Amino acid sequence: MGRGIRAAAVIAVWGVLAGLPAGCGTGPAAGGGTRAGAHAGTGAVSDAGAETGAETGAGTGARTDVRADAVAGGDAGAGTETVLHSGTAGTGADRARLRGLLLQTQDLPEGFSARLRGGWRPPFRPAAGDCRRVLESAGHRAPQGASDVRVTATYPGHGLGELAGIGLESHPGEGAERRFAALAAALDRCRVAAVPATGAAADRETLLTGSDLALDAVGDDMRARRLHGRLNGYPYEMHVVLIRSGRTLVSLVHAGIADVDAGRTQRLAGFLADRAGGSAGDGDET
Protein backbone atom coordinates (compact mmCIF):
# COMPACT_ATOMS: atom_id res chain seq x y z
CA MET A 1 0.00 0.00 0.00
CA GLY A 2 1.44 3.44 -0.96
CA ARG A 3 2.07 6.24 1.48
CA GLY A 4 -0.87 8.24 0.14
CA ILE A 5 -3.32 5.37 0.67
CA ARG A 6 -2.00 4.65 4.20
CA ALA A 7 -2.31 8.32 5.15
CA ALA A 8 -5.89 8.41 3.86
CA ALA A 9 -6.75 5.31 5.90
CA VAL A 10 -5.33 6.83 9.11
CA ILE A 11 -7.28 10.05 8.57
CA ALA A 12 -10.50 8.06 8.01
CA VAL A 13 -10.04 6.09 11.27
CA TRP A 14 -9.47 9.27 13.31
CA GLY A 15 -12.54 10.79 11.71
CA VAL A 16 -14.68 7.87 12.92
CA LEU A 17 -13.23 8.03 16.45
CA ALA A 18 -13.83 11.77 16.66
CA GLY A 19 -17.50 11.21 15.87
CA LEU A 20 -18.12 8.82 18.79
CA PRO A 21 -20.36 10.14 21.61
CA ALA A 22 -18.55 11.44 24.68
CA GLY A 23 -18.05 8.77 27.33
CA CYS A 24 -18.61 5.93 24.85
CA GLY A 25 -16.48 2.86 25.46
CA THR A 26 -13.25 3.55 27.32
CA GLY A 27 -12.19 6.77 25.63
CA PRO A 28 -12.05 10.21 27.26
CA ALA A 29 -15.31 11.97 28.01
CA ALA A 30 -16.08 15.55 27.08
CA GLY A 31 -14.23 18.01 29.26
CA GLY A 32 -11.15 15.80 29.53
CA GLY A 33 -12.36 13.55 32.35
CA THR A 34 -13.24 9.87 32.27
CA ARG A 35 -16.48 8.17 33.19
CA ALA A 36 -17.12 4.60 34.24
CA GLY A 37 -20.48 2.85 34.34
CA ALA A 38 -22.61 5.97 33.91
CA HIS A 39 -25.69 3.82 33.42
CA ALA A 40 -24.82 0.43 34.87
CA GLY A 41 -28.36 -0.91 35.07
CA THR A 42 -31.53 0.15 36.84
CA GLY A 43 -32.19 -2.35 39.63
CA ALA A 44 -29.15 -2.31 41.92
CA VAL A 45 -29.14 -0.73 45.36
CA SER A 46 -25.80 -0.10 47.06
CA ASP A 47 -23.60 2.53 48.69
CA ALA A 48 -22.84 5.79 46.90
CA GLY A 49 -19.56 7.01 45.48
CA ALA A 50 -18.97 4.74 42.48
CA GLU A 51 -19.43 7.37 39.79
CA THR A 52 -18.03 10.86 39.34
CA GLY A 53 -19.17 13.69 37.11
CA ALA A 54 -22.64 14.55 35.83
CA GLU A 55 -24.21 13.80 32.49
CA THR A 56 -27.18 15.46 30.83
CA GLY A 57 -29.63 13.91 28.44
CA ALA A 58 -29.37 10.53 30.16
CA GLY A 59 -30.21 7.72 27.80
CA THR A 60 -30.30 10.02 24.76
CA GLY A 61 -26.70 9.69 23.57
CA ALA A 62 -26.17 13.44 23.82
CA ARG A 63 -22.71 14.85 24.47
CA THR A 64 -22.03 16.39 27.86
CA ASP A 65 -22.12 20.19 27.66
CA VAL A 66 -19.29 22.10 29.32
CA ARG A 67 -21.90 24.28 31.06
CA ALA A 68 -23.44 21.22 32.69
CA ASP A 69 -20.02 20.18 34.01
CA ALA A 70 -19.43 23.71 35.34
CA VAL A 71 -22.58 23.72 37.47
CA ALA A 72 -22.48 20.04 38.43
CA GLY A 73 -19.44 20.52 40.63
CA GLY A 74 -18.50 16.89 40.01
CA ASP A 75 -21.08 15.68 42.51
CA ALA A 76 -24.61 16.30 41.30
CA GLY A 77 -26.26 12.94 40.86
CA ALA A 78 -23.01 11.12 41.60
CA GLY A 79 -22.93 7.63 43.03
CA THR A 80 -25.01 4.55 42.39
CA GLU A 81 -28.68 4.58 41.56
CA THR A 82 -30.44 4.44 44.92
CA VAL A 83 -28.92 5.03 48.35
CA LEU A 84 -30.45 3.44 51.45
CA HIS A 85 -29.33 4.81 54.79
CA SER A 86 -29.35 2.18 57.53
CA GLY A 87 -32.35 2.18 59.83
CA THR A 88 -33.10 1.02 63.33
CA ALA A 89 -34.49 -2.36 64.32
CA GLY A 90 -37.98 -3.05 63.05
CA THR A 91 -37.83 -0.60 60.14
CA GLY A 92 -37.14 -3.08 57.34
CA ALA A 93 -40.68 -2.79 55.95
CA ASP A 94 -40.43 1.00 55.85
CA ARG A 95 -37.10 0.87 54.03
CA ALA A 96 -38.57 -1.48 51.45
CA ARG A 97 -41.61 0.77 51.08
CA LEU A 98 -39.55 3.90 50.41
CA ARG A 99 -37.27 2.05 48.03
CA GLY A 100 -40.32 0.83 46.13
CA LEU A 101 -41.65 4.38 45.79
CA LEU A 102 -38.54 5.50 43.91
CA LEU A 103 -38.50 2.43 41.70
CA GLN A 104 -42.12 2.99 40.56
CA THR A 105 -41.20 5.04 37.50
CA GLN A 106 -43.85 3.97 34.99
CA ASP A 107 -45.70 7.31 35.31
CA LEU A 108 -42.62 9.51 35.73
CA PRO A 109 -43.33 12.92 34.13
CA GLU A 110 -42.11 13.37 30.57
CA GLY A 111 -38.59 14.75 30.26
CA PHE A 112 -37.01 12.71 33.05
CA SER A 113 -35.11 9.45 32.78
CA ALA A 114 -36.24 6.44 34.81
CA ARG A 115 -32.60 5.31 35.06
CA LEU A 116 -32.07 6.36 38.66
CA ARG A 117 -28.73 7.67 39.82
CA GLY A 118 -27.34 8.19 43.29
CA GLY A 119 -28.45 10.73 45.85
CA TRP A 120 -28.12 14.37 44.80
CA ARG A 121 -25.24 16.49 46.09
CA PRO A 122 -25.41 20.31 45.99
CA PRO A 123 -22.95 21.75 43.43
CA PHE A 124 -22.09 24.56 45.87
CA ARG A 125 -21.65 25.05 49.60
CA PRO A 126 -24.91 26.50 50.98
CA ALA A 127 -24.40 29.95 52.45
CA ALA A 128 -26.52 29.67 55.59
CA GLY A 129 -27.70 27.05 58.04
CA ASP A 130 -31.37 27.25 57.02
CA CYS A 131 -30.62 26.76 53.33
CA ARG A 132 -28.19 23.96 54.13
CA ARG A 133 -30.72 22.04 56.23
CA VAL A 134 -33.35 22.16 53.49
CA LEU A 135 -31.02 21.24 50.62
CA GLU A 136 -29.47 18.39 52.60
CA SER A 137 -32.94 16.92 53.14
CA ALA A 138 -33.05 16.12 49.40
CA GLY A 139 -29.42 15.09 49.20
CA HIS A 140 -27.08 12.17 49.55
CA ARG A 141 -25.91 12.80 53.11
CA ALA A 142 -28.36 12.35 55.97
CA PRO A 143 -28.88 15.79 57.59
CA GLN A 144 -29.32 16.46 61.29
CA GLY A 145 -32.85 15.62 62.39
CA ALA A 146 -33.52 13.22 59.51
CA SER A 147 -35.22 9.90 60.09
CA ASP A 148 -33.17 6.71 60.35
CA VAL A 149 -35.39 5.38 57.55
CA ARG A 150 -34.33 7.40 54.51
CA VAL A 151 -33.90 6.84 50.77
CA THR A 152 -32.36 9.20 48.19
CA ALA A 153 -31.96 9.13 44.42
CA THR A 154 -31.67 11.37 41.36
CA TYR A 155 -33.79 11.37 38.21
CA PRO A 156 -31.69 12.81 35.34
CA GLY A 157 -33.58 15.32 33.18
CA HIS A 158 -33.39 15.86 29.45
CA GLY A 159 -32.70 19.59 29.74
CA LEU A 160 -29.23 21.09 29.97
CA GLY A 161 -27.84 20.35 33.43
CA GLU A 162 -31.32 19.27 34.55
CA LEU A 163 -31.95 16.82 37.36
CA ALA A 164 -34.41 16.05 40.13
CA GLY A 165 -32.90 15.14 43.49
CA ILE A 166 -35.28 13.22 45.77
CA GLY A 167 -35.13 12.46 49.48
CA LEU A 168 -37.78 10.32 51.20
CA GLU A 169 -38.09 9.92 54.97
CA SER A 170 -40.49 7.83 57.05
CA HIS A 171 -41.36 9.01 60.58
CA PRO A 172 -43.40 7.29 63.31
CA GLY A 173 -46.38 8.97 64.94
CA GLU A 174 -46.43 12.73 64.37
CA GLY A 175 -42.74 12.86 63.50
CA ALA A 176 -43.34 13.70 59.84
CA GLU A 177 -45.52 16.69 60.77
CA ARG A 178 -42.87 18.05 63.14
CA ARG A 179 -40.08 17.46 60.63
CA PHE A 180 -42.07 19.15 57.85
CA ALA A 181 -42.82 22.18 60.03
CA ALA A 182 -39.14 22.61 60.92
CA LEU A 183 -37.95 22.30 57.32
CA ALA A 184 -40.72 24.54 55.96
CA ALA A 185 -39.73 27.29 58.41
CA ALA A 186 -36.08 26.91 57.36
CA LEU A 187 -37.07 27.11 53.69
CA ASP A 188 -38.98 30.35 54.31
CA ARG A 189 -35.83 31.81 55.89
CA CYS A 190 -33.58 30.72 53.00
CA ARG A 191 -32.97 34.12 51.39
CA VAL A 192 -29.48 33.62 49.92
CA ALA A 193 -28.50 30.02 49.17
CA ALA A 194 -25.06 30.63 47.65
CA VAL A 195 -22.69 33.59 47.83
CA PRO A 196 -19.81 34.64 45.55
CA ALA A 197 -16.72 32.46 45.90
CA THR A 198 -13.42 33.70 47.28
CA GLY A 199 -9.82 32.76 46.63
CA ALA A 200 -8.96 30.78 43.51
CA ALA A 201 -12.62 30.49 42.44
CA ALA A 202 -13.42 34.19 42.87
CA ASP A 203 -13.53 34.75 39.10
CA ARG A 204 -16.47 32.36 38.73
CA GLU A 205 -19.62 34.24 39.68
CA THR A 206 -21.92 32.39 42.09
CA LEU A 207 -24.98 33.95 43.69
CA LEU A 208 -28.35 32.25 44.27
CA THR A 209 -31.19 34.09 45.99
CA GLY A 210 -34.58 32.82 47.14
CA SER A 211 -38.06 33.89 46.03
CA ASP A 212 -41.60 32.54 46.20
CA LEU A 213 -42.65 29.65 43.95
CA ALA A 214 -46.40 29.25 43.42
CA LEU A 215 -47.44 25.61 42.96
CA ASP A 216 -50.77 23.85 43.42
CA ALA A 217 -50.91 22.02 46.75
CA VAL A 218 -50.30 18.27 46.77
CA GLY A 219 -50.13 15.83 49.66
CA ASP A 220 -51.15 16.80 53.19
CA ASP A 221 -48.69 19.71 53.46
CA MET A 222 -46.48 21.42 50.89
CA ARG A 223 -43.99 24.29 50.75
CA ALA A 224 -41.99 25.49 47.71
CA ARG A 225 -39.33 28.08 46.94
CA ARG A 226 -37.27 29.15 43.93
CA LEU A 227 -33.49 29.72 44.12
CA HIS A 228 -32.26 31.67 41.12
CA GLY A 229 -29.06 33.38 39.99
CA ARG A 230 -25.68 32.28 38.70
CA LEU A 231 -23.51 29.28 39.52
CA ASN A 232 -19.88 29.28 38.42
CA GLY A 233 -20.76 32.05 35.99
CA TYR A 234 -23.76 30.32 34.37
CA PRO A 235 -27.47 31.13 34.88
CA TYR A 236 -28.91 28.55 37.25
CA GLU A 237 -32.24 27.83 38.91
CA MET A 238 -33.46 25.42 41.57
CA HIS A 239 -36.99 24.65 42.71
CA VAL A 240 -37.07 23.29 46.26
CA VAL A 241 -40.28 21.53 47.29
CA LEU A 242 -41.23 19.90 50.61
CA ILE A 243 -44.22 17.55 50.74
CA ARG A 244 -45.76 15.57 53.58
CA SER A 245 -48.05 12.66 52.75
CA GLY A 246 -49.10 10.83 55.90
CA ARG A 247 -45.92 9.97 57.77
CA THR A 248 -43.73 10.19 54.67
CA LEU A 249 -41.72 13.35 54.03
CA VAL A 250 -40.66 14.12 50.45
CA SER A 251 -37.86 16.60 49.66
CA LEU A 252 -37.47 17.56 45.99
CA VAL A 253 -34.85 19.69 44.25
CA HIS A 254 -35.53 20.33 40.54
CA ALA A 255 -32.50 22.12 39.09
CA GLY A 256 -31.03 23.13 35.76
CA ILE A 257 -29.16 25.72 33.75
CA ALA A 258 -31.11 28.93 32.99
CA ASP A 259 -34.86 28.69 33.69
CA VAL A 260 -36.45 25.58 35.20
CA ASP A 261 -40.01 24.78 34.08
CA ALA A 262 -42.37 25.22 37.04
CA GLY A 263 -44.94 23.06 35.27
CA ARG A 264 -42.56 20.12 35.29
CA THR A 265 -41.78 20.79 38.95
CA GLN A 266 -45.53 20.66 39.63
CA ARG A 267 -45.87 17.34 37.81
CA LEU A 268 -42.89 15.90 39.69
CA ALA A 269 -44.38 17.01 43.01
CA GLY A 270 -47.71 15.40 42.14
CA PHE A 271 -45.99 12.21 40.98
CA LEU A 272 -44.10 11.87 44.27
CA ALA A 273 -47.04 12.86 46.49
CA ASP A 274 -49.31 10.33 44.81
CA ARG A 275 -46.83 7.54 45.45
CA ALA A 276 -46.08 8.54 49.02
CA GLY A 277 -49.77 8.94 49.86
CA GLY A 278 -50.89 5.74 48.18
CA SER A 279 -48.10 3.46 49.38
CA ALA A 280 -48.99 0.37 51.33
CA GLY A 281 -48.17 0.36 55.01
CA ASP A 282 -48.32 4.13 55.49
CA GLY A 283 -50.65 3.74 58.41
CA ASP A 284 -48.44 1.24 60.24
CA GLU A 285 -47.37 3.24 63.27
CA THR A 286 -44.20 2.29 65.13
- Show me where the domains of the chain are located: 1-34, 37-278
Average pLDDT, the chain: 72
Mean pLDDT, range 170-182, rounded to an integer:
91
Alpha helix segments (H runs only) across the chain? 3-18, 66-72, 92-103, 129-137, 175-188, 262-278
Residue 217 has a pLDDT of 96
Pick the CATH number of 37-278 from 3.40.1000, 2.30.38, 3.10.450, 3.30.70: 3.40.1000
Cα separation, 264 vs 132, whole angstroms: 24
Most confident segment among 31-40, 100-109, 158-167, 197-206: 158-167
Burial of 64 (0-12, 13-18, 19+ CB in 10 A): buried
**For residue 106, what is the DSSP state?**
T
In angstroms, the CA 80 to CA 175 distance is 29
Instruction: Give the single-character DSSP code of 28.
Output: P
CB pairs under 8 A, 24+ apart, for 121-125? 121/73, 121/75, 121/76, 121/77, 121/78, 122/73, 122/75, 122/76, 123/71, 123/72, 123/73, 123/75, 123/76, 123/231, 123/232, 124/73, 124/193, 124/194, 124/206, 124/208, 124/231, 125/194
DSSP label at 194? Answer: E
The residue among 82, 99, 103, 83 whose CA lies nearest residue 91 is 99
216 — pLDDT class (breaks 50, 70, 90): very high
Q: What is the side-by-side order of every strand in the sheet holding 192-194?
A: 82-85, 149-156, 163-170, 248-257, 234-245, 221-231, 207-212, 192-194
Query: Is pLDDT at 55 greater than 50 in this prediction?
Result: no
Cβ atoms 242, 184 nearer than 8 A = yes
More confident residue, 126 or 237: 237
* R_g of the chain computed on alpha carbons: 21
Choose the weakest-confidence range: 7-16, 59-68, 190-199.
7-16
What's the half-sphere exposure (Cβ side, CA atoms, 13 Å) at 22? Answer: 19
Q: What is the pLDDT of residue 159?
A: 93
- pLDDT higher for 250 or 141? 250
Q: Higher model confidence: residue 32 or residue 248?
A: 248
Percent of the chain with pLDDT over 70: 60
pTM equals: 0.70
Contact present, 30 and 22 (Cβ < 8 Å): yes
pLDDT at 94 over 70: yes
- The yes-or-no verdict on residue 61 having pLDDT over 50 is no
Q: DSSP of 73-86, one letter per residue?
A: TTTTT-SSSEEEE-
Task: Say if residues 139 and 83 touch (Cβ distance below 8 Å).
Answer: no
